[in-house]
Structure 1
Amino acid sequence: MFESSLFIRWLSKPVRYIIWLWKNSLAYRLICRLSAWFMNIWHHSRIISWFKKDGLLVRTWQHSAVLRFTDWLANLIPNFLGSIYARLERWFRNSFLYRLLDFASGHVSTLIALFVMASLVIPYSRWNNRYTTLAVLFFFGLFLIRTMGDRSVRFAVKAIDLFLFLFLLSIFLAQVFSTYPSLSLRFLAFYGTDFLMMLILISTIRTKKDLSTVLEIIMIGVALAGLYGLYQGIVGVPVNQAQVDVELNEGMPGRVESFFGNSNIFAQNIVLFAPFFAAIVLSAKGWQKKALFTVAALPSLVALLMTYSRSGYVGLAVAVLVFIFLVKRSLIPLFAVLGIAAMPFLPDTVLRRISTITNFNDSSISYRFDIFMTMWQVITDFWYTGIGLGSDAVKRVTENYEIFTKSVPLHAHNVYFQIWLEMGIMGLVAFIGWMVRTVKCSLRVIFSEEGDPYLKHVLRAGVSGLLGLLVIALVEYIWYYPRAMMLFWIFMGIVLSAIRLAAREPEEEQGNA
Structure 2
Amino acid sequence: ENPSWYAEVRGETIMRAVGVFPDPHMFSFFLGFGALFALSVVIFYPKRKIFSFFVFIVCSLTLFLTFSRGGYLGFLAGVCALIVVSWPKLSVKAKKLFRVSLLAATVCVFIWGGPVASRFISSFDSNEGSNAGRLEIWREVVYLSRDSFWTGAGLGNYPLLLNPYENYRSAVTSHNLYLDILVETGVFGLIAWIVFLFYCFKNSLRQIRSEEAIARVFGAGCFGFFVYFSVHSFFETAIFNPTILAFLMIAAGLSASLNHNSPLSSLRRGLGL
1:295 and 2:61 aligned: no
Equivalences for residues 270-419 of structure 1 within 5 A? 270-284=31-45, 286=47, 289-328=48-87, 331=95, 334=99, 337-390=103-156, 393-399=157-163, 410-419=172-181
2 CA distance for matches of 1:372 and 1:263?
21
Contact 1:245–1:363 (CA<8 Å) still a contact in 2? Answer: no
* Contact 1:385–1:425, Cα closer than 8 Å, also in 2: yes
Query: Which residue does the alignment assign to 2:24?
Result: 263
Residues 4-46 of structure 1: per-residue CA shift (max 9 Å, x gap): xxxxxxxxxxxxxxxxxxxxxxxxxxxxxxxxxxxxxxxxxxx
What is the letter of the counterpart of residue 441 of structure 1? N
Question: Whole-Å Cα distance in 2 between the matches of residues 487 and 428 of structure 1?
Answer: 21
Q: Is contact 1:375-1:398 (8 Å) kept?
A: no
For 2:17 and 2:264, locate their aligned partners in 1 and report how far apart those are by CA, in whole Å.
42
Q: CA deviation at 1:320?
A: 0.8
1:188-267 residue pairs with structure 2 within 5 A?
241-242=3-4, 246=8, 249-267=10-28
Distance 1:260 1:453 in 2: 33
Q: Which has the higher contact order (CA 8 A, sep 6+)?
A: 2
More deviation, 497-506/310-319: 497-506
Match of 2:167 in 1: none
Contact 1:413–1:475 (CA<8 Å) still a contact in 2?
yes
Amino acid at match of 1:305: F
- Superposition deviation, residue 379 in structure 1: 0.8
Note the residue ranges of structure 2 that are not aligned, 5 or more in a row.
Answer: 165-169
The aligned amino acid for 1:410 is V
- Could you give the per-residue CA deviations for residues 347-373 of structure 1, whole angstroms, max 9, x where no partner exists? 322122122111122211111111111
TM-score w.r.t. length of structure 2: 0.82
One-letter amino acid of the counterpart of residue 67, structure 2: Y
In structure 2, how many angstroms separate the alpha carbons of the residues matched to 1:494 and 1:477?
A: 22
Q: 1:489 aligns with which of 243, 246, 249?
A: 249
Say whether 1:428 aligns with 2:190.
yes
Counterpart of 2:217 in structure 1: which amino acid?
H
Q: How many equivalent residue pairs?
A: 257
Rate the CA distance shift 1:344–1:252 in 2: closer, same or farther, 3 A.
Answer: farther
Letter in 2 for 1:341: V
Alignment of 1:437 with 2:196, yes or no, is no
Q: TM-score, normalised by structure 1?
A: 0.46
Name the CA distance, whole Å, in 1 between partners of 2:38 and 2:61: 14
- What is residue 212 of structure 2 aligned with on the other side? 452
CA–CA distance in 2 between the matches of 1:362 and 1:244?
15
Determine if contact 2:153/2:186 at 8 Å carries over to the other structure: yes
**Distance of aligned partners of 1:277 and 1:336 in 2 relative to their CA distance in 1, 3 Å threshold:** closer
Output the CA distance in 2 between the equivalents of 1:292 and 1:453.
Answer: 17
Contact 1:278–1:461 under 8 Å retained in 2: yes
Q: Which amino acid aligns with 1:497?
A: S
Deviation at 1:452, TM superposition (A): 1.3
Q: Bigger CA drift: 350-359 or 338-347?
A: 338-347
SS of the equivalent of 2:14 reads coil
| 8 A Cα contact 2:77 2:227, kept in partner | yes
Displacement of 1:453:
2.2
Aligned equivalents of 1:348 and 1:505: distance in 2?
A: 46
Q: Is the 8 A contact 1:445 1:502 kept in 2?
A: no
Partner Cα distance (1:501, 1:244) in 2: 48
Quick one: which amino acid aligns to residue 204 of structure 2? S
How far did 1:296 drift? Answer: 2.8
Between the two proteins, what is the percent identity of the paired residues? 20
Give distance in 1, aligned partners of 2:148 and 2:10: 38
Q: Is 1:470 matched with 2:236?
A: no
Gaps of 5+ in 1: 1-237, 401-407
Larger Rg: 1
Cα RMSD (Å): 3.0
Distance 2:231 2:251 in 1: 16
How far did 1:317 drift?
A: 0.6
